[in-house]
Amino acid sequence: MSHCDNNWNVNLVRFVPLALRIYIVTWNVSTKFPENISLNKLLGLENRPEQDSHLPDFFVIGLQEVNAQPQNTLYNLFKDDLWTQKFKEVLKERDYVVIKTEQMQGLLLSVFARRKHLLHLRQVETEYTRTGLGGIWGNKGAVSIRMNVYGSSICLVNAHLAAHDHMLEERINDYERIVQEQKFHVKAKETIFDHDYVFWFGDLNFRLTGEATTSADEIRAMVARDELKQLIEKDQLLLVRREGRAFAQLQERLPQFPPTFKFEHGSNEYDMKRRPAWTDRILYAVNENNYRNVRLTAEQTSYKSHPSYSISDHKPVTSEFTLKVNRKPQYSGEHFRKQHNNRLSYKLAMANNTDVHSFDDLVTDLIDYGQVYEDTTERTVSFKPIELWLVGEPNTIEYVIPNGFEEGNADWIGIYRENFTSLSEYLAYEYTETYKDKQHQLNEQQLQHMQNTRTVQLTFSENVSLPLGTRYQLLYFQSTGTRGVTGLVGISPAFGVEKRCPSPSFDEID
């Protein structure tokens, strides 16, 4: 996001109305593995991809109590966890790509995007907060992923808060700790609620009040009589939001589905060892007036549970949102100057107001400074076509850096198989050479040249081994380093690889 400069020569980029659909899943999977289950119904998909219509732009998967035994943790260092693999199998057939996955013990958060959006996702960053055992243990807490999507900032928070009916204060403390401790490295978006859109979901573990007067059997009977409206009035989350004690900045359409906890494994019968409750929730917030030239909106189009899934003692919950940006008229400073330079208002101001000494002073008085919504994702790195990649030899590529593009101090280019399904699937990579690293060696003219559009060469080592018979693509990542801010800003055309035939030896020549 950019701020207007003082001379008001800012020309806003051409505005394209934004309307994106996000489908969110939250599910406490009770350490179970995704064996012999279909996820299509959970994701609102048909059995065959060609039957799907109106696919969402993003799927956000938030799981709790994923099996985090040591042997599984070691496995996950080298491959996606089994749940991510299962979701990927379904979604890759519909051309979705895993943008980012973040895991903290049993908490797992993954974001899938349709391939057509990849170059419009910037400044992706992850965070996590432990709240178990006073912040020592990660069995409770939150993991989050933030990103810019077509210029709008989105923060996704998957949380698992303190359990049991009587632990309300601990849940509130968990919430406050997550809000205070999660800090990002994107300017003006350092905290969760700095973002344009916030989605907070997970096993929030809020129960029903009246533990002494309302038994598990009574709650079950009210559910059977479809007295959900009366029952939801006892919901702890609803009460603390009304009192402003926690989650007050977030909205929620009240659940119209039965409590999602606690069930007998493998059935739709409540386990009467616990009082049923709506522990699994999806909330959201929209900072609709973050910018002075647009209004942000989010429409929640669905919110439901999925009782047919019975491997866990929780039922999964899903919600779908449509995000929109509605533009308000906005003049650039230059346009304002041309339209009003000879106006009487300007002459009167110059004659009667001794504090106004120039037209710029008048513009400053008339227009409020603040953030202006811009889609900065039009600045992409373009690759020159690669005619042929020779295996076992150095290969030099060329790419074009656009004017105004800011290279990160850890930018890199990765080699991927064509139609890759995850941004973590690179086969090899090379860091780019950024001018920031050698600014002290360049004179002013050279620095100016480096900031203009320019073509750059980068050589990959002969040690890069790519299997034959497959096509590949290069991806340029703008990055600030390990656990830093990353964005995909360039994708090359696909190319093939070959191995050069060896030259004949002297003995082989007749």
What does the pLDDT look like over 11-63, one tens digit per residue? 444 455 679 999 999 999 999 999 999 999 999 999 889 888 889 999 999 99
Residue 1 pLDDT more than 70?
no
Assess whether 345 and 398 both reside in one domain. Answer: no
Whether 39 maps to a domain, the answer reads yes
Domain of residue 72, CATH code: 3.60.10.10
pLDDT value of residue 3: 37
Task: Pull the structure tokens for residue 214.
Answer: 């309302």
Same domain, 359 and 295: no
User: Look-up: residue for tokens 């002290």?
Assistant: 440
The answer to whether residue 373 is domain-embedded is no
Q: What percent of the chain has pLDDT over 70?
A: 80
β-pairing, 486-491 vs 472-479, is antiparallel
CA distance 311 to 29: 7
Q: Which domain holds residue 89?
A: 16-327
Contact 182, 129 (CB under 8 A): yes
Number of domains making up the chain: 3
251 and 282 both lie in a single domain? yes
Based on the fold, state whether residues 323 and 342 are members of the same structural domain. Answer: no
**173 shares its domain with 222:** yes
Q: What is the pLDDT of residue 74?
A: 46
Give yes or no: residues 346 and 305 share one domain: no
Tell me how far apart the terminal alpha carbons of the chain are, to the nearest angstrom.
70
Please check whether residue 4 lies inside any domain of the structure.
no
pLDDT on residue 361: 46
pLDDT over threshold 90, residue 481: no
Specify whether the CB–CB gap between 136 and 142 falls below 8 A: no
pTM for the structure as a whole: 0.86
Residues 115 and 84 placed together within one structural domain of the fold: yes
The pLDDT tens digits of the residues spanning 2-18 come to: 333 333 333 444 455 67
Query: Do 313 and 414 lie in a common domain?
Result: no
* Tokens 């009246």, located at residue: 210
> What does the alpha-carbon distance between residue 368 and residue 371 come to, in Å, rounded to a whole number?
10
164 CB-near residues (< 8 Å, 6+ apart) = 205, 207
Which pLDDT score, from 0 to 100, does residue 365 have?
A: 41
Examine the domain organization and report whether 307 and 190 are in the same domain.
Answer: yes
SS3 133: helix
Least confident of 100-109, 232-241, 482-491: 482-491
Examine the domain organization and report whether 161 and 37 are in the same domain.
yes
Q: Are residues 41 and 132 in the same domain?
A: yes
Question: CA-based angle 28:142:265, to the nearest 5?
Answer: 10
Q: Which two tokens stand for residue 57?
A: 């732009």
The pLDDT tens digits for 421-459 are 999 999 999 999 765 455 455 555 555 555 678 899 999
- Cα–Cα distance for residue pair 423/488, rounded to 1 Å: 9
Judged against a pLDDT cut of 50, whether residue 301 lies above it is answered with: yes
The answer to whether position 386 is within a domain reads yes
Q: Determine the Cα–Cα distance for residues 281 and 253; give it in Å rounded to an integer.
A: 10
Same domain, 420 and 272: no
Give me the pLDDT at residue 354, please: 44
Residue 19 near residue 323 (C-beta atoms within 8 A): yes
Specify the CATH number for the domain of residue 429. Answer: 2.60.40.2840
From 367, 390, 419, the end of a domain falls on: 367
**507 belongs to a structural domain:** no
Mean pLDDT of the chain: 86
Q: Is residue 9 part of a domain?
A: no
Taking only the tens place, the pLDDT of each residue in 154-197 is 999 999 999 999 999 999 999 999 999 999 999 889 999 999 99
Dihedral pair phi/psi, residue 147, rounded to 5°:
-165, 160
Say if 195 falls within a structural domain: yes
The answer to whether residue 233 sits within a structural domain is yes
